[in-house]
C-alpha cells in the first residue's frame, strides 16, 4: 500500500468515525467508544480486503463480515454508507422509530449486514458457520469477525474457537478489538482475559498481534492470514477506545451514551479537522 | 399520600438491596458487566466485598450463584432480562430451579421500554421462560414502592425468585403509608363491575390512568395489579371473572406465556370468561424512544382505554 492509498483509508476511517458520532448524537444513545476503536479495521476490510458489491449485497460468493460486538454498529453503518450500500442520511435516523438502522445490526433490514448481532459471543459462532459453509461448498470466500475484548469473557467465544480450529477453518479471521475497556471498567479489572495470545494459540489459532490503528499493521496481518493453511487466524488488535475524538479516548464512560450538542460539535470539529488535514496532504 | 417518586424500578432495586444488606450478611450480589445499568452498582459501592463482577458470562454467573447458594449465601444475580433469563435459561432451569436453590435472579431492561437498543435487547419472553420453571417465583413490580417491598420479600422468601426490572424512570402511584405487599397476592387498585383489567409492571400505572379516565365516561372498571405472576393469585382472578364476566390483561411482554396466559390458565379451569390480551403480539420489537414504542404497541393509557371501550361494548 502506498502513502496515498493509506491517506485515503485514513480519510475514510475519519469519515466513518464522523458517521458514528452523527448517528449516536441523533439517536441520543448508542456506543461511540467501541465504534471508534474498530473504525480503522472495518474501513480496511470494506475498502481493501473484502470482496463485496454494494449493488449486490447478497452476492453469493462475497466475503462475509460479522460484527460480533454488535453494539459498535454505528461505525459499521457509516462504512457501509461510504461504500455505497445505502444513503449516508440514514445515519441521522439511527435508532429512531421505523429507521432502517437499528440499535444493533439487523441482517433482514439493512443491506450489507451479513449477520444480526447484539448478544455478545454469538456472532463469532455464526462466522464459524459461514466459514464451514464455504468449506462445504468448496468456495473460496473468506469470513471476518470482530470481537470485543470484554466479549472474550463469554464462554461461547471459546466454544467457537475450539470448533474453528478443529474444523481447520483457515478461511476465518477473527479480530479482537483490544481497547482494554468494557462497561464496568477495564477488562483487566472486571474479569481479566490475558494472556489472550496464548489462549488463542493453545486453541489452535494462528495469532498475529498488531496496532489496530496502523494500516500497515492491518494490511500485513490480513495478508499473512490468507497464507496460513489449516488454521484459523486471530488478529489481536491493540486499540484505543474512543479513538479519534480526544475527550472520548480511553474513557469507560463513553462506552454507551450519545454525545450532547456541545460534545457533538466538538467531536465533529475534531474529525473534520482531521479529514481536512489529510485531504490537504493528498 | 407521599410525594410521587419518579424512578426506574432497577434503581429502586439497587437501593433496596443496600437496605436489606445492612441486616442480612448472607446477601451477595453478582453481575455480568452491567452493574451500572442494572443498578447493582449501588450495592457494589456500599458493599464492595460482597459484590462480584463475573464479566460478560451470564451462564457461568448463574451457576456460580447456584454454588454460593448451596453454601448458605443468598446470591442475587443480575443482568439484562434478555441475558439473565434468555442466555442463561438452561443453567437457571437445571442448576437453580431443579435443586431449588435460593438464588434471586434479576432481569433489568425488560420489555419494549428498553427503547433504542432495539429487538436484541428488548426482552419480551422473560416472564414466559421463568414461569415454566417449577418452584420459581416470578415478580414484576410496578413502581418504586412496590419494588422496594418486592425485593425485601424476594430476599426473605426461601427459594429461587425472578424479579423483573425496568429501565425507564416512571412515576410511583402507590402510597407508601398504606401500601402492603404480600407475595402471591394481587392488589385491587380500582373497584368496578363492568369489566376487569389485570395488569403487571410498568403498564399498571398506564392502566390506572385509563380506568380513571373512563370513570368520567361512566364506565366502572375493576383494576387488579398482579405483582406476583407466579404463584398467581387465583382467588382474586376467579372473583373478578365471576363478578365482571370479562377480563383484559395488560403486560409489556409477548402475549405468549406471560401474564395473559397465566390469567387464562386460571379462568379456563375455574370460570371461563372472554379474556383479551394486551401485549406484544408474537413479534420482535425495534429501536425507538421508550414512550414512542409503548404508544405504538398500545401500552399507554390511550391504547388501553380504547381496548376497554371495545371490550365493554361487546358485553
Ligand atoms: C450476552 C450479552 N451480555 C451483555 C451485553 C451488554 N453489553 C453490551 S456491550 C458490553 C461490553 C462489551 O465490551 P467489549 O466487548 O470490550 O466491547 P467494546 O469495548 O469494543 O465496546 C456489554 C456487557 C450484551 N450485549 N450481550
Ligand atoms: Mg473493549
Write out the DSSP string of A168-203: T-TTEEEEEEE-SB-SSSBHHHHH----HHHHHHHT
Long-range contacts, A82-90 (Cβ 8 Å, 24+): A82/A12, A82/A15, A82/A16, A82/A19, A82/A46, A83/A46, A83/A47, A83/A52, A83/A54, A83/A112, A84/A54, A84/A55, A85/A54, A85/A57, A85/A111, A85/A112, A86/A110, A86/A111, A86/A112, A88/A19
User: Which residue, B144, B171, B198, sits at the end of a domain?
Assistant: B171
Q: Are strands A64-67 and A143-148 parallel, antiparallel or unpaired?
A: parallel
Strand partners, B247: B196, B275
Q: Is residue B44 part of a domain?
A: yes
Residues B205 and B289 grouped into a single domain: yes
Closest ligand 1 atom to A119 CA:
26
- Is B53 in contact with A184 (Cβ distance < 8 A)? yes
Residues of A in contact with B59 (CB under 8 A): 155
Cell of residue B68, nine digits: 454460593
Q: Is residue B204 part of a domain?
A: yes
Q: Is residue B226 part of a domain?
A: yes
User: Which residue, B171, B199, B221, sits at the end of a domain?
Assistant: B171
Question: Which of A97, A118, A190 is opposite residue B120, by nearest beta carbon?
Answer: A118
Given a cut of 80, whether residue A281 has pLDDT beyond it is no
Residues B27 and B110 grouped into a single domain: yes
Q: Is residue B180 part of a domain?
A: no
Say how many Å lie between the CA of residue B118 and the centre of ligand 2: 21
- The CATH number of whichever domain residue B81 belongs to comes to 3.40.50.970
Is the distance from CB of A237 to CB of A207 less than 8 angstroms?
Answer: no
User: How many Å apart are CA A68 and CA A126, to the nearest integer?
Assistant: 9
Is the distance from CB of B25 to CB of B123 less than 8 angstroms?
Answer: no
- Is A102 in contact with B119 (Cβ distance < 8 A)? yes
Residues B166 and B237 grouped into a single domain: no
Provide the shortest C-alpha distance from residue A276 to chain B (in Å). 33
Provide the shortest C-alpha distance from residue B82 to chain A (in Å). 9
pLDDT band, residue B273 (cuts 50/70/90): very high
Q: Whose CA is nearest to atom 6 of ligand 1?
A: B34
Residues B15 and B145 grouped into a single domain: yes
- Is B56 in contact with A28 (Cβ distance < 8 A)? no
Average pLDDT for residues B187-197, to the nearest whole number? Answer: 98
Q: Is residue B178 part of a domain?
A: no
Residues B35 and B109 grouped into a single domain: yes
pLDDT band, residue B9 (cuts 50/70/90): very high
- pLDDT reported for residue A280: 87
Q: Whose CA is nearest to atom 15 of ligand 1?
A: A148
Residues B195 and B138 grouped into a single domain: no
The 10s digit of each residue's pLDDT in A41-73 is 999 999 999 999 999 999 999 999 999 999 999
Residues B137 and B17 grouped into a single domain: yes
Is the distance from CB of A165 to CB of A204 less than 8 angstroms?
Answer: yes
User: Which residue, B171, B205, B225, sits at the end of a domain?
Assistant: B171
Question: Which of A103, A117, A120 is opposite residue B287, by nearest beta carbon?
Answer: A103
R_g of chain A computed on alpha carbons: 18
Say how many Å lie between the CA of residue A74 and the centre of ligand 2: 16
Q: Are strands B170-171 and B6-7 parallel, antiparallel or unpaired?
A: antiparallel
Nearest CA in chain B to A153: B56
Average pLDDT for residues B170-185, to the nearest whole number? Answer: 97
User: How many Å apart are CA B69 and CA B60, to the nearest integer?
Assistant: 14
R_g of chain B computed on alpha carbons: 19
Q: Which helix (H) or strand (E) holds B16?
A: helix B9-23
Size of interface A-B (CB pairs under 8 A): 95
Half-sphere exposure of B200 (CA within 13 A, CB side): 34
Tell me the average pLDDT of chain A. Answer: 98
Residues B206 and B134 grouped into a single domain: no
- pLDDT reported for residue B3: 84
| Ligand 1 binding pocket, CB closer than 6 Å | A 31, 33-34, 37, 69, 71-72, 118-121, 148-151, 177, 179, 181-183, 241, 255; B 33-34, 56, 83, 87
Half-sphere exposure of A146 (CA within 13 A, CB side): 29
Q: Is residue B1 part of a domain?
A: no
Question: Which domain, by its residues, includes B248?
Answer: 187-313
Cell of residue B277, nine digits: 390480551
pLDDT band, residue B169 (cuts 50/70/90): very high
pLDDT band, residue B49 (cuts 50/70/90): very high
For chain A, percent of residues with pLDDT exceeding 90: 99
Nearest to B259 by CA among B211, B215, B310, B299: B299
Q: Whose CA is nearest to atom 8 of ligand 1?
A: A71
Is the distance from CB of A23 to CB of A74 less than 8 angstroms?
Answer: yes
- pLDDT reported for residue A89: 98
Question: Which of B34, B87, B118 is opposite residue A183, by nearest beta carbon?
Answer: B34
pLDDT band, residue A282 (cuts 50/70/90): low
Average pLDDT for residues B273-284, to the nearest whole number? Answer: 98
Per the structure, the count of domains in chain B is 2
Q: Which domains does chain A have, with CATH numbers?
A: 3-281 (3.40.50.970)
Residue in the block written with cell 387465583 = B234
pLDDT band, residue A156 (cuts 50/70/90): very high
Please tell me the number of the ligand nearest to residue A72's CA.
1
The 10s digit of each residue's pLDDT in B62-120 is 999 999 999 999 999 999 999 999 999 999 999 999 999 999 999 999 999 999 999 99
Strand partners, A66: A145
Is the distance from CB of A171 to CB of A143 less than 8 angstroms?
Answer: yes
Tell me the average pLDDT of chain B. Answer: 98
Is the distance from CB of A46 to CB of A80 less than 8 angstroms?
Answer: yes
- The CATH number of whichever domain residue B196 belongs to comes to 3.40.50.920
Catalytic-residue membership of B58: yes
Residues B10 and B134 grouped into a single domain: yes
Residues B149 and B286 grouped into a single domain: no
* Entry pTM: 0.96
Provide the shortest C-alpha distance from residue A201 to chain B (in Å). 22
Average pLDDT for residues A185-209, to the nearest whole number? Answer: 98
Q: Residue ranges of the alpha helices (H) in chain A?
A: 3-27, 32-37, 39-44, 73-83, 123-136, 155-166, 187-191, 196-202, 215-227, 261-281
Residues B143 and B210 grouped into a single domain: no
Question: Which of A27, A151, A184 is opposite residue B116, by nearest beta carbon?
Answer: A27
- pLDDT reported for residue B315: 87
Residue in the block written with cell 477488562 = A187
Q: Is residue B179 part of a domain?
A: no
User: How many Å apart are CA B21 and CA A35, to the nearest integer?
Assistant: 38
- pLDDT reported for residue A202: 98
Could you tell me which residues of chain A have a Cβ less than 8 Å from any Cβ in chain B?
27-30, 70, 94-99, 102-104, 106, 116-121, 150-151, 153-155, 182-184, 190-191
ipTM score of complex: 0.94
Q: Which of A99, A123, A124, A190 to mutate to test the interface with B (most CBs of B within 10 A)?
A: A190
Residues B107 and B200 grouped into a single domain: no
Q: Is residue B176 part of a domain?
A: no
Q: Are strands B221-225 and B195-199 parallel, antiparallel or unpaired?
A: parallel
Amino acid at each position: 500500500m502506498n502513502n496515498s492509498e493509506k491517506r485515503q483509508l485514513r480519510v475514510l476511517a475519519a469519515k466513518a468515525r464522523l458517521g458514528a458520532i452523527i448517528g449516536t448524537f441523533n439517536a441520543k444513545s448508542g456506543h461511540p467508544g467501541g465504534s471508534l476503536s474498530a473504525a480503522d479495521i472495518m474501513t480496511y476490510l470494506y475498502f481493501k480486503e473484502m470482496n463485496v458489491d454494494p449493488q449486490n449485497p447478497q452476492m453469493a460468493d462475497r466475503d462475509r463480515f460479522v460484527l460480533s460486538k454488535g453494539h459498535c454498529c454505528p461505525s459499521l453503518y457509516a462504512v457501509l454508507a461510504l461504500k455505497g450500500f445505502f444513503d449516508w442520511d440514514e445515519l441521522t435516523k439511527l435508532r429512531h422509530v421505523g429507521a432502517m438502522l437499528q440499535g444493533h445490526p439487523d441482517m433482514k433490514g439493512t443491506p450489507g449486514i451479513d449477520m444480526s448481532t447484539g448478544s455478545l459471543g454469538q456472532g463469532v459462532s455464526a462466522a464459524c458457520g459461514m466459514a464451514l459453509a464455504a468449506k462445504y461448498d468448496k468456495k473460496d470466500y473468506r469470513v471476518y469477525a470482530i470481537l470485543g475484548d470484554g466479549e472474550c469473557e463469554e464462554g461461547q467465544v471459546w466454544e467457537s474457537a475450539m470448533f474453528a480450529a478443529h474444523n481447520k477453518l483457515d478461511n476465518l479471521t477473527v479480530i479482537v478489538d483490544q481497547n482494554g475497556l468494557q462497561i464496568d471498567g477495564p477488562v483487566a479489572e472486571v474479569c481479566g482475559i490475558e494472556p489472550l495470545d496464548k489462549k488463542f494459540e493453545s486453541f489452535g489459532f494462528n495469532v498475529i498481534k498488531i496496532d489496530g490503528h496502523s494500516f500497515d499493521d492491518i494490511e500485513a496481518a490480513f495478508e499473512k492470514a490468507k497464507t496460513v493453511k489449516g488454521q484459523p487466524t486471530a488478529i489481536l488488535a491493540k486499540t484505543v477506545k474512543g479513538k479519534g475524538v480526544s475527550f472520548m479516548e480511553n474513557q469507560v464512560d463513553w462506552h454507551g451514551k450519545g454525545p450532547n450538542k456541545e460534545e457533538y460539535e466538538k467531536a465533529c470539529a475534531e474529525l473534520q479537522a482531521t479529514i481536512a488535514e489529510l485531504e490537504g496532504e493528498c | 399520600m407521599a410525594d410521587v417518586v419518579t424512578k426506574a424500578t432497577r434503581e429502586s432495586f439497587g437501593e433496596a438491596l443496600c437496605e436489606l444488606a445492612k441486616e442480612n450478611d448472607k446477601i451477595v450480589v453478582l453481575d455480568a458487566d452491567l452493574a451500572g445499568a442494572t443498578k447493582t452498582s449501588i450495592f457494589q459501592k456500599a458493599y464492595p466485598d460482597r459484590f462480584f463482577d463475573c464479566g460478560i458470562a451470564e451462564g457461568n454467573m448463574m451457576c456460580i450463584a447456584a454454588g454460593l447458594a448451596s453454601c448458605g449465601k443468598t446470591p442475587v444475580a443480575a443482568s439484562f432480562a434478555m441475558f439473565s433469563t434468555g442466555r442463561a435459561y438452561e443453567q437457571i432451569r437445571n442448576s437453580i430451579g431443579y435443586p431449588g436453590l435460593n438464588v434471586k435472579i434479576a432481569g433489568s431492561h425488560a420489555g419494549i421500554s428498553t427503547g433504542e437498543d432495539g429487538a436484541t435487547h428488548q426482552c419480551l419472553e422473560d416472564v414466559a421462560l421463568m414461569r415454566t420453571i417449577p418452584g420459581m417465583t416470578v415478580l414484576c413490580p410496578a413502581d418504586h414502592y412496590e419494588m422496594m417491598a418486592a425485593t425485601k420479600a424476594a430476599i426473605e422468601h426461601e427459594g429461587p425468585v425472578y424479579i423483573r426490572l425496568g429501565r425507564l424512570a416512571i412515576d410511583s402511584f402507590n402510597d407508601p403509608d398504606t401500601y402492603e405487599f404480600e407475595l402471591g397476592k394481587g392488589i385491587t387498585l380500582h373497584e368496578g363491575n363492568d369489566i376487569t383489567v389485570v395488569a403487571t409492571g410498568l403498564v399498571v400505572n398506564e392502566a390506572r390512568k385509563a380506568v380513571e379516565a373512563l370513570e368520567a365516561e361512566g364506565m366502572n372498571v375493576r383494576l387488579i395489579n398482579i405483582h406476583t405472576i407466579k404463584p398467581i393469585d387465583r382467588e382474586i382472578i376467579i372473583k373478578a371473572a365471576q363478578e365482571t364476566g370479562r377480563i383484559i390483561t395488560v403486560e409489556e411482554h409477548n402475549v405468549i406465556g406471560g401474564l395473559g396466559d397465566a390469567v387464562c390458565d386460571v379462568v379456563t379451569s375455574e370460570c371461563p370468561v372472554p379474556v383479551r390480551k394486551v401485549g406484544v403480539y408474537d413479534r420482535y420489537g425495534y429501536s425507538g424512544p421508550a414512550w414512542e414504542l409503548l404508544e405504538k404497541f398500545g401500552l399507554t393509557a390511550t391504547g388501553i382505554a380504547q381496548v376497554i371501550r371495545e371490550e365493554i361494548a361487546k358485553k
